[in-house]
Each structure stands twice: as structure tokens, then as C-alpha cells.
Amino acid sequence: MTWTTARRAEYATTMVCSHRGQVGLHNAVQAIQPTLETMSFDGSSLITADFSIDVSAPSQIAVDAVVADFTGGLNCAKIEKRVAIDKRTKELILLGFTHLGIVFSSSQAAQDTIEGYHRSIAALTFPIWHHAKDDTQSVELSNAADVNAMHDDLIVHIAGHRNSGGVLKNSVNSATTEAAVDAVVDTR
């Protein structure tokens, strides 16, 4: 049996639940619900349940209801909104951070480099030249205080965007209707 929920074309998730042997339909329906609760849906989903038993029409309706609880309506709207907020948070983080009036990369590689400076301050040989995001400028990190200041600016940049996204996601999580979810607007 295959049930398809077409909420939004840009998202797709596949879940396969296999229940074989002596597992009865009642147990299978109960098994699907916790599986759905622990999965991360990104929106529209293809839900495939493979049973080794025949499923009657009333039982199929019961299974459909369990699947619908987790792939449509309010839950789906919340998931879609949280995914969009997370995407925007990542975009904002990757725009770069400002240190001493210069914009530096905040890509994962740049974060790892600056974190590496910070963690190995005692072993560094100064000065270190760190180039701007557009490579037109650089800054001289001449001591541990300079490294710490750059690291702090990066952390404040990342934390600020994650925290602002978290506030929005809290609003989404507390919404009790799809209209309330839609009313949460990410203006960052």
C-alpha cells in the first residue's frame, strides 16, 4: 500500500515501515505512529507501508488517519515553517560577520579556522593574517587578545542569528492553528 500526501512540491521525504510475519494490523498501526513521531518530515511525503497481511478498507482508513496526523494540517505547516526559518538562519550566518569594520567569511571552513585559532592560542606563532570575505583586505591578529576578539565577534554573529531563529520557531511551536503558523513571518 502507498499513501501520497502532496503538500508542497519542493519537499520530499520517504518513509518505509515494514511489518512482517505475525504482526497484526492493530499492532502495525500502533507501530507507525511512534515511527512518524520520531521522523523529521520536510513537507510533502511519500509514505510507504509494506504489510505481509491484507488490509481491509476500514483498517486502511485507520492507517491513513495516523499518517495524516503527521504529514498534513497543522503539524505539516509547523514543519515547513521551521524548515524555512532554519534555511534563512543558515543564509544569514553565511553572509559573513564583521570584525574591526571588515566583513569576514563565516562559512563552515572559516568557522573551523577561527575556532582552531582560538583553541590553540598557546601554540600559535603571531602575527596571523586573516583575509576578508572578498579578499580585498586583511587583519593582523598579533596576539591572543586579537584572536579572542575575532572569535567573539564570530560567535556573537552566529548566536544572534540562531537565537532570532529560535524565537521565531518558538512562536511556530506554540501556534495552535495553521493561520497562527502562517502569521509567523521571518523578516530577518
The number of residues making up the chain comes to 188
The answer to whether residues 20 and 50 belong to one domain is: yes
| Contact call for residues 65 and 120 (beta carbons, < 8 A) | no
Of the listed ranges 43-47, 69-73, 154-158, the least confidently predicted one is: 43-47
The answer to whether residues 89 and 62 belong to one domain is: no
Greater confidence, 77 or 109?
109
The answer to whether residues 40 and 93 belong to one domain is: no
The answer to whether residues 87 and 37 belong to one domain is: no
What domain count does the chain have? 2
The answer to whether residues 48 and 115 belong to one domain is: no
188 falls within a domain: no
| Contact call for residues 30 and 62 (beta carbons, < 8 A) | no
187 falls within a domain: no
For residues 119-137, give the mean pLDDT: 96
Confidence bin at 43 (pLDDT 50/70/90): very low
Query: pTM of the entire structure?
Result: 0.64
User: pLDDT tens digits for 3-27?
Assistant: 333 332 222 222 323 333 333 444 4
8 falls within a domain: yes
Grid coordinates of 182: 502562517
User: Distance (Å, rounded) from C-alpha 150 to C-alpha 113?
Assistant: 11
From 45, 71, 97, give the residue that closes a domain: 71
